[in-house]
């Protein structure tokens, strides 16, 4: 069925809010949160650890911490609590991103039953299965993802167990990889260019002759498509192939983005067809899928990436995250437009809806609105 991606208009009179048709929590995140809270409830008195952040949302992670859960690693895999304090009696929850085979083995050696408290999203497991299929057919695996992101590290580990694997972060790195495919760059430089991003024993002369592409589930759909198309074309030209025999060198697979990434990005595209003054995107600053929604909005209009309504300091000032520079910046007069002010709103897959509601409540507080939020909720109930 064709999905409807037109935004929902919340017409408050002098303020018009266009809410993306799909936004917020995805299946994987809801499932992970549910398992975590159930684990806390069913295991009083036990020490419960989370391998790393459950999801990239500070409010959810703080909530879990306040219920006694401790985090073993930060979002980049740096150790916060050494593994050697763990005992077989402890519970370790694997987050929605999954984890590396090495970490899983290490925990199992201590006697921890990782499979019992594993919240790895099925859509991430699907990517691992795809990498297995690619490997089975003797292709090397190219992972399009952020090399330091938990999910990409986990996927890299699973893919490397079956096939030579390289991570490319973006088109620039894909273009660099292409130069090793065509022989334009000396193989010796590969290990420096892709340091920490290739599997052990990767042989540039052999392992780039047959490739297949998978990707982190939350990448920007257009980037992922462009990278796969580019690498396919590189193989086609270099080996003088055509549509009928390209599979000799390039695995024919669809991208491995998850449904939530597709729907949230398509809903932002739909929302951007509305002429508006500004966009506000709500989510954790280290959330990959949220930053891609911001990227899409930024191309069209002033966009503010915030992680809660508290970042809206007043009707004049907003403190928002610049994910290119990785810092918060203050912008003044962010609502100075002719009436009605039109605002587009969306949120990432790890953002609770309550945060979006908080943002809407704060915004309407700055306008002499004709309709209360309660009346608006009634209208949609």
User: By the criterion CB under 6 A, which residues form the site for ligand SF4?
Assistant: 26-29, 96, 121, 123-124, 217-218, 258, 260-261, 289, 349
Q: How far is the CB of 265 from ligand SF4 (least distance, A)?
A: 11
Q: How far is the CB of 284 from ligand SF4 (least distance, A)?
A: 12
Q: How far apart are the C-alpha atoms of 365 and 4, rounded to whole Å?
A: 30
Q: How far is the CB of 290 from ligand SF4 (least distance, A)?
A: 10
Query: In angstroms, what is the C-alpha Rg of the chain?
Result: 23
Contact (CB, 8 A) for 58 and 287: no
Closer to ligand SF4 by CB, 169 or 261: give it.
Answer: 261
Asked about 151 being catalytic, the answer comes back as yes
Closer to ligand SF4 by CB, 54 or 86: give it.
Answer: 54
Contact (CB, 8 A) for 350 and 334: no
Closer to ligand SF4 by CB, 31 or 315: give it.
Answer: 31
Q: How far is the CB of 360 from ligand SF4 (least distance, A)?
A: 23
Token pair for 201: 């024993």
Q: How far apart are the C-alpha atoms of 350 and 306, rounded to whole Å?
A: 13
Q: Nearest to residue 80, comparing CAs of 98, 97, 61, 57?
A: 61
Neighbours of 370 (CB within 10 A): 11
Q: How far apart are the C-alpha atoms of 165 and 187, rounded to whole Å?
A: 16
Closer to ligand SF4 by CB, 123 or 305: give it.
Answer: 123
Q: How far apart are the C-alpha atoms of 123 and 110, rounded to whole Å?
A: 28
Q: How far is the CB of 30 from ligand SF4 (least distance, A)?
A: 9
Q: Name the helix (H) or strand (E) containing 352.
A: none
Q: Please report the sign of the dihedral spanned by the C-alpha atoms of residue 38, residue 41, residue 44, residue 48.
A: positive
Q: How far is the CB of 76 from ligand SF4 (least distance, A)?
A: 18
Nearby residues of 210 by Cβ (< 8 Å), 6 or more positions away:
138, 139, 140, 248, 249, 250, 251
Contact (CB, 8 A) for 339 and 333: no
Instruction: Name the active-site residue from 16, 53, 104, 151.
Output: 151
Q: How far is the CB of 51 from ligand SF4 (least distance, A)?
A: 15
Q: How far apart are the C-alpha atoms of 294 and 338, rounded to whole Å?
A: 24
Closer to ligand SF4 by CB, 54 or 276: give it.
Answer: 54
Closer to ligand SF4 by CB, 96 or 112: give it.
Answer: 96
Q: How far apart are the C-alpha atoms of 194 and 140, rounded to whole Å?
A: 15
Q: What is the DSSP string of 78-135?
A: -BSS-GGG--TTSEEEB-TT---HHHHHHHHHHT--GGGGB---HHHHHHHHHHHHHH
Residue with nearest beta carbon to ligand SF4 = 28
Closer to ligand SF4 by CB, 159 or 258: give it.
Answer: 258
Q: Nearest to residue 176, comparing CAs of 162, 166, 164?
A: 166
Catalytically annotated residues: 151
């Amino acid at each position: 069925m064709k999905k409807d991606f037109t935004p929902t208009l919340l017409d408050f009179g002098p303020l018009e809010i266009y809410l993306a048709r799909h936004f917020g929590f995805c299946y994987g995140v809801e499932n992970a949160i549910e398992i975590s809270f159930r684990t806390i409830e069913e295991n009083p008195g036990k020490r419960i650890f989370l391998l790393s952040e459950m999801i990239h949302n500070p409010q959810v992670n703080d909530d879990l911490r306040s219920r006694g859960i401790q985090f073993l690693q930060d979002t980049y895999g740096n150790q916060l609590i050494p593994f050697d304090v763990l005992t077989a009696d402890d519970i370790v929850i694997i987050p929605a991103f999954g984890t590396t085979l090495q970490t899983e083995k290490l925990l199992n050696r201590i006697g921890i039953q990782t499979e019992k408290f594993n919240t790895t999203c099925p859509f991430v497991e699907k990517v691992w299965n795809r990498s297995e299929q690619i490997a089975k057919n003797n292709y090397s695996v190219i992972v399009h993802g952020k090399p330091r992101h938990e999910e990409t590290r986990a996927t890299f580990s699973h893919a490397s167990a079956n096939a030579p694997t390289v991570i490319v972060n973006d088109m620039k790195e894909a273009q660099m990889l292409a130069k090793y495919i065509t022989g334009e760059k000396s193989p010796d430089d590969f290990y420096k260019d892709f340091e920490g991003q290739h599997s052990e024993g990767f042989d540039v002369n052999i392992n780039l002759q047959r490739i297949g592409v998978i990707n982190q589930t939350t990448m920007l759909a257009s980037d992922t498509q462009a990278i796969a198309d580019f690498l396919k074309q590189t193989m086609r030209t270099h080996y003088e192939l055509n549509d009928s025999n390209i599979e000799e060198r390039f695995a024919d697979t669809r991208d491995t983005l998850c449904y939530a990434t597709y729907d949230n990005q398509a809903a932002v595209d739909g929302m951007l067809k509305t002429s508006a003054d500004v966009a506000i995107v709500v989510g954790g600053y280290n959330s990959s899928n949220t930053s891609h929604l911001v990227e899409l909005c930024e191309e069209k209009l002033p966009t503010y990436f915030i992680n809660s309504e508290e970042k809206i300091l007043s009707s004049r000032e907003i403190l928002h995250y610049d994910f290119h520079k990785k810092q918060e910046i203050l912008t003044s007069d962010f609502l100075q437009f002719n009436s009605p002010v039109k605002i587009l709103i969306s949120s990432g897959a790890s953002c609770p809806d309550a945060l979006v509601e908080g943002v809407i409540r704060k915004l309407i507080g700055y306008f002499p609105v004709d309709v209360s939020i309660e009346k608006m909720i009634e209208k949609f109930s």
